[in-house]
Chains A and B, each alone.
Chain A
Amino acid sequence: MNDYQYFNLDITGGVATVTMNLPPLNVMDNPMMAEFNTLLDGLVGDTASRPS
Chain B
Amino acid sequence: MIAAEGKAFSAGVDVSDHTEDKVGDMIERFHGIFRRLAATDAITIAAVQGAALGGGCELACFCDVVLASDRAKFGQPEVHVGVFPPVAAAILPWRVGLGKAIELVSLGATISATEAHRIGLVNQLFPADEFNDKVAAYIDSIRGLSRPVVRMAKQATMVGMRAETLKRLEEAEKIYLDELMQLHDAHEGIAAFMEKRSPEWSHA
Query: Within the complex, which residue of A28, A36, A44, A52 is in contact with B14, where a contact is CB–CB below 8 Å?
Result: A28
A10 to B12: give the CA distance in the assembly, Å: 23
A16 to B143: give the CA distance in the assembly, Å: 12
Closest beta carbon of chain B to A36's beta carbon, Å = 5
B112 at the interface (CB under 8 A from A): no
Chain B neighbourhood of A37, CB < 8 A: 29, 32-33, 36
Say whether B36 contacts A40, CB under 8 Å: yes
Say whether A25 contacts B6, CB under 8 Å: yes
Say whether A51 contacts B33, CB under 8 Å: no
A20 to B1: give the CA distance in the assembly, Å: 11
Known: A33-B33, A37-B36, A40-B33. A51 touches B4 (CB 8 A): no
B151 at the interface (CB under 8 A from A): yes
Q: Which residues of B, 56-89, contact A by the 8 Å Cβ criterion? A: 56
Query: Within the complex, which residue of A21, A25, A29, A40 is in contact with B8, where a contact is CB–CB below 8 Å?
Result: A25
B192 at the interface (CB under 8 A from A): no
Q: Which residues of A, 8-42, contact B by the 8 Å Cβ criterion? A: 8, 13-30, 33-34, 36-37, 40-41
Closest to A17 in B: B1
Chain B neighbourhood of A27, CB < 8 A: 10-14
Closest beta carbon of chain B to A8's beta carbon, Å = 8
Chain B neighbourhood of A29, CB < 8 A: 13-14, 17
A50 to B2: give the CA distance in the assembly, Å: 15
Closest beta carbon of chain B to A51's beta carbon, Å = 4
Chain A neighbourhood of B33, CB < 8 A: 33, 36-37, 40
Say whether A24 contacts B6, CB under 8 Å: yes
Say whether A30 contacts B22, CB under 8 Å: yes
A5 to B3: give the CA distance in the assembly, Å: 15
Chain A neighbourhood of B42, CB < 8 A: 16, 49-51
